[in-house]
Amino acid sequence: NAGVTQTPKFRILKIGQSMTLQCTQDMNHNYMYWYRQDPGMGLKLIYYSVGAGITDKGEVPNGYNVSRSTTEDFPLRLELAAPSQTSVYFCASSLAAGGLNTQYFGPGTRLTVL
């Protein structure tokens, strides 16, 4: 099992550009999440999904969009990149809720917007 994979690992964007951060998991997990982590800070939830076709906003959704067409994939879209979106982005997945809600994280995407 590869677990949770993310691409790219690093990216530099110019203000106003758009991009998609890819996330794939091969553990057949229902739940998937996108977090951002600013330097020295905790994880802030951007969007999450409880299954294919179902997504919902987290704590900081503005400036981002997601889709979940399959169980495996949960891409995060930035439409008009802004310097405030410079951060490390982590994708995570979990089997279900409660005690099965242990989240497994991908290696992260380090994004810089200049």
Partner 1 sequence: GQNIDQPTEMTATEGAIVQINCTYQTSGFNGLFWYQQHAGEAPTFLSYNVLDGLEEKGRFSSFLSRSKGYSYLLLKELQMKDSASYLCAVNSGGYQKVTFGTGTKLQVIP
Contact positions vs partner 1 (CB under 8 A): 35, 40-45, 50, 59, 90, 97-99, 101-108
**Least Cβ distance, residue 2 to partner 1 (angstroms):** 14
Looking at the Cβ atoms of 59 and 79, the one nearer to partner 1 is 59
Cα 39 from Cα 50, distance rounded (Å): 28
3-state helix, strand, coil in the chain (%, to 5): 5, 50, 45
Looking at the Cβ atoms of 80 and 100, the one nearer to partner 1 is 100
**Least Cβ distance, residue 58 to partner 1 (angstroms):** 9
User: Are 71 and 83 within 8 A, CB to CB?
Assistant: no
Cα 48 from Cα 31, distance rounded (Å): 7
**Least Cβ distance, residue 45 to partner 1 (angstroms):** 8
